Amino acid sequence: MKFSFKFASALAILMLAVPVTALAAPKKITLGFSQIGAESEWRTANSESIKQAAKDAGIDLKFSDAQQKQENQIKAIRGFIAQKVDVIAFSPVVESGWETVLKEAKSAGIPVILSDRAVDVKDDTLWVSFMGSDFVEEGRRAANWLVADLNKKGVKGDVNIVELQGTVGSAPAIDRKKGFEEILKSHPNLKITRSQTGDFTRAKGKEVMEAFLKADKTIKVLYAHNDDMAIGAIQAIEEAGLKPGKDITIISIDAVKGAFEAMMAGKLNVSVECSPLLGPQLMEATKDLVAGKKLPKRIVTKEGVFPAEVAAKEFPNRKY
C-alpha cells in the first residue's frame, strides 16, 4: 500500500483526539461491603477472607464495620449508594428491617449480594444472591451428634440441655435453634430447659452460663450456637468446679481454631463446621454480576462436623 502522508497525519490527529484514559486499563470494579462487626473468631476470619480475596481479585473494596448495629449497616449501604459502587454485599446482623434501604439500592440500579446471613423481605428481587451456610442443617447436625453420643454412652433417661443462642433475630440463631429442635422432637427425653442469647460473644456466653449453673445443678449438655460462646461457657463451668466436656457435654458450631484447641484439651466435645471463608466466592460473584452474568439465587457453603477425637489430626489443616 502506497504510504500516504495525508493518511498518516489523519491517523496522528485521531490518536491525539482519543483521550488517553480510553486506552487505559478497564475501570476497576468497586464493591461496598457492610460487615456486622468483630464479635467472634468466625467474623474476624470472614473479614480477612473478604479483604484478601478483594486484593487478589483486583476489586476496589469499600469495607465498613457496623459494630453489630443494624443502623450502622443501613448507613453504610446508603453511603455505598451515594458513592455509586458497582455492587453492594453485606452480612445482615438481623433478618428484618431491610426493605427500605434495599429498595433504595434497587432504585439506584446497584445489585445486592447477601453474604453469610439471609434477610426476611417480601420482595426477593431486592437481593440477587445469598451465599452462606445452611444454619438449619447445622442445628440438625449438632442434635444428631448428641443423639449418637448419648446412644454410644448408653444414656437412656431425661437429659437436661441448656442453650446459648446467637444474636436475637439473626438468621443463624433462629435457624440453628430450629434445626436442633427438629431432631429433638423424636427424642422426648432430651429437653432444652434453659435458653438465652449470648450474642455470639465469649463474654456474654460466660455470663449467661454462670447464671445457668447458679440456677440449675442438673445440667448435662450445653448447646452453643457458636464456638465463642462455648469457650466463654467453658470458663464458667471450670470456675464452678466442674469439668467441661466431661461433667457437661458441650456441642458448638463454627469449628474455629479456638474450638479445636478446646477439643484437644478435652473441654469441648464437637464443633459443627460453618465456614467463614466466603471471600473468593463473593469476588467471583461480583465480577460475574458486573460482566452481566446471572447468579444462582442461593449458593450453599459445603461443611462438615468435627468431633473431639479427630481434632488433633484435623487441626493442622484448619484455615480459620
Binding site for ligand GZL (CB under 6 A): 39-40, 42-43, 116-117, 132-133, 172, 200, 226, 228, 253-254, 274
Shortest CA distance to 42 belongs to which of 271, 285, 307?
271
User: CB of 189: closest distance to ligand GZL in angstroms?
Assistant: 28
Distance, in Å, from the CA atom of 237 to the CA atom of 240, rounded to the nearest integer, reads: 5
At closest approach, how far in Å is the CB of 116 from ligand GZL? 5
Environment class of 217 (CB within 10 Å of its CB; exposed 0-12, middle 13-18, buried 19+): exposed
Least distance from ligand GZL to the Cβ atom of residue 65, Å: 13
Q: What residues are paired with 33 via a beta bridge?
A: 63, 89
CB of 176 to ligand GZL, least distance (A): 8
* 173 residue type, one letter: A
Query: Which set of grid coordinates corresponds to residue 44?
Result: 474476624
C-alpha pair distances (Å), 21 with each of 16, 18, 28: 12, 8, 13
- Residue 80 or 90: the one with the smaller Cβ distance to ligand GZL is 90
Beta bridge partners of 130: 114, 298
Q: Half-sphere exposure of 139 toward its Cβ, with a 13 Å CA cutoff?
A: 23
> What whole-number distance in Å separates Cα of residue 316 and Cα of residue 306?
13
What is the DSSP secondary structure assignment for residue 124, as one 8-state letter?
G
Residue 170 Cβ vs ligand GZL, minimum distance, rounded to whole Å: 7
Geometric angle at alpha carbon 277, from 273 and 279, rounded to 5°: 155
| Cell numbers representing residue 280 in the block | 473468593
> Closer to ligand GZL at the Cβ: 43 or 177?
43
With respect to ligand GZL, which residue has the nearer C-beta, 245 or 258? Answer: 258
Q: Considering the complex, what minimum distance in angstroms separates the CB of residue 250 from ligand GZL?
A: 15
CB 100 to ligand GZL: min, Å: 23
Q: Which three cell numbers stand for residue 111?
A: 445489585
Give per-residue burial for 142-161: e unless 16+ CB within 10 Å, then b: bbebbeebbeeeebeeebbb
Give the Cα separation of 301 and 272 in Å (integer).
13
Q: How far is the CB of 68 from ligand GZL (least distance, A)?
A: 9
Q: Cβ closer to ligand GZL: 53 or 110?
A: 53
* Strand ranges (E), the chain: 30-35, 60-65, 87-90, 112-115, 129-132, 159-165, 190-197, 221-224, 249-254, 270-273, 298-300, 305-307
Q: How far is the CB of 23 from ligand GZL (least distance, A)?
A: 44
